[in-house]
Homo-oligomer: A and B are copies of this chain.
Amino acid sequence: MSIQSKFSKLGTQNAPGQEGRQSAAGTQDFLRGEKLDGIPVDFSHGDVDAHEPTPGAFEAFCAGVELGGAQAYTEYRGDLSIRDGVAAKLATFTGAEVDANDGLIITPGTQGALFLAVAATMMRGDKVAIVQPDYFANRKLVEFFEGEIVPVQLRYRDAAQGQAGLDLTELEAAFQAGARLFLFSNPNNPSGVVYSADEVADIAALARRYGATVIVDQLYSRLLYQGVSYTHLRAMDIDPENVVTIMGPSKTESLSGYRLGVAFGSREIIGRMEKLQAIVSLRAAGYSQAVLRTWFNEPDGWMADRIAQHQAIRDDLITLFRGIDGCFVRTPDAGSYLFPQLPDLTIAPADFVKALRMLGGVTVTPGTEFSPHTANSIRLNFSQDHAAAVAAVERLSTLLDRYRA
């Protein structure tokens, strides 16, 4: 394999946030009708101007700068006193002990944590069970490290409310075929479904039976909508050395600009992750680490308000999508992603995504990023200005009519 072909699998052309690098060449072949007026909305990521960073985050950063060298140069796994505070909060949140000294690492974003966790748990040629659909980097990470992906379907369309719809038979078959690593997001990105207590218990039981390691990305596990309960895998009956949990304050808390994530759990894997972080990025930005002092420490009522605002946007957008003929969307249990399936169109879904951006000022992420089976779905991060998001989905509806098959 040449390095060119290795990197060709890591395409970022359709990745969220990279749309500005796309060429407009060829789009005249399928652009139809006039541009639609309205405030442009970039659903490829959340709008941290509409939903501002946690109160106190900036002040915590400034205090870190004030502290100087001690905050700029931390251990590679992050400052110990900050790890102490975060570990205690995460133990309470997840319902299982977190070892601040050896069982937690602070990383540059949850992406940094995911990269290190995968690199520290698989070798070239290893089989890795990956959910379809799931966060696009999961697949790319396994490909980059030359592993073999064993897909496990998430039948979120057909699952009962309260179930994510993981095909547990396929997961067991993956383990039987030799996979010893399972990587998944809960809540699922892109569909927003939360795995039920039974599903999480079944994953734990299978991991136990086959001695498999599980990496679970719980980035959105704090933003749960009314009536939804959440089960933490690490609190189940499972060898704690076989679980790595990944979280971070970038999404719900709108702290993306500081690039912070954490991975916690298995001491051995966290130890390897730190060794690798030493040559990947040394550490999460020292001053930024100080912002973690505000995490799980938000003002009273702040999180409830944030959830209520997102639930209101979710509900309005769901109503709009349900009014579009031929469109399917499941109501997300958590997080800020919608993953509607579009009706049949006269152009390729990838071209519709471009037309939507060029004619409607609406940026979404194509479904192919998440699974080969969801090409006719799109992902929207609805952590946006409420009115602008509603208007943008109305423009999307208008444009669907222009291209409807």
Q: Interface range on chain A: under 10, 10 to 19, 20 to 34, or 35 or more? A: 35 or more
Please name all residues of chain B whose beta carbon is closer than 8 Å to the beta carbon of A75 when the two chains form the complex.
17-18, 20-21
Please name all residues of chain B whose beta carbon is closer than 8 Å to the beta carbon of A281 when the two chains form the complex.
107-109, 111-112, 115, 259, 280-281
Q: Are B3 and A278 in contact (CB under 8 A)?
A: no
Q: Are A279 and B141 in contact (CB under 8 A)?
A: yes
From A6, A73, A115, A144, residue with most partner B Cβ within 10 Å: A73
Q: Are A120 and B69 in contact (CB under 8 A)?
A: no
Complex: A2 Cα to B124 Cα, angstroms: 10
Further contacts, 6 of them, CB under 8 A, given A7-B120, A18-B75, A108-B285: A1-B123, A3-B272, A17-B76, A18-B278, A64-B257, A109-B281
Knowing A45-B73, A72-B256, say if A278 contacts B109 (CB, 8 Å). no
- Contact partner of A288 among B107, B278, B288, CB < 8 A? B288
Q: Does A71 sit at the interface, judged by CB under 8 A?
A: yes
Q: Are B20 and A279 in contact (CB under 8 A)?
A: no
Q: Are B283 and A259 in contact (CB under 8 A)?
A: yes
Q: Which residue of B lies closest to A271 (CB)?
A: B7
Give chain B nearest CB distance to A189 CB in angstroms.
14
Q: Are A115 and B17 in contact (CB under 8 A)?
A: no
Q: Does A175 sit at the interface, judged by CB under 8 A?
A: no
Q: Does A38 sit at the interface, judged by CB under 8 A?
A: no
- Contact mask for chain A residues 248-259; partner B; CB cutoff 8 A; 1 contact, 0 none: 000000001111
Q: Does A284 sit at the interface, judged by CB under 8 A?
A: yes
Give chain B nearest CB distance to A398 CB in angstroms.
26
Q: Does A47 sit at the interface, judged by CB under 8 A?
A: yes
Please name all residues of chain B whose beta carbon is closer than 8 Å to the beta carbon of A287 when the two chains form the complex.
257-258
Give chain B nearest CB distance to A188 CB in angstroms.
19
Q: Does A49 sit at the interface, judged by CB under 8 A?
A: yes
Please name all residues of chain B whose beta carbon is closer than 8 Å to the beta carbon of A288 when the two chains form the complex.
259, 285, 288
Complex: A49 Cα to B112 Cα, angstroms: 28
Q: Does A282 sit at the interface, judged by CB under 8 A?
A: yes
Q: Does A286 sit at the interface, judged by CB under 8 A?
A: yes
Please name all residues of chain B whose beta carbon is closer than 8 Å to the beta carbon of A1 when the two chains form the complex.
123
- Contact mask for chain A residues 48-81; partner B; CB cutoff 8 A; 1 contact, 0 none: 1100100000100110110011011111100010
Q: Are A259 and B69 in contact (CB under 8 A)?
A: no
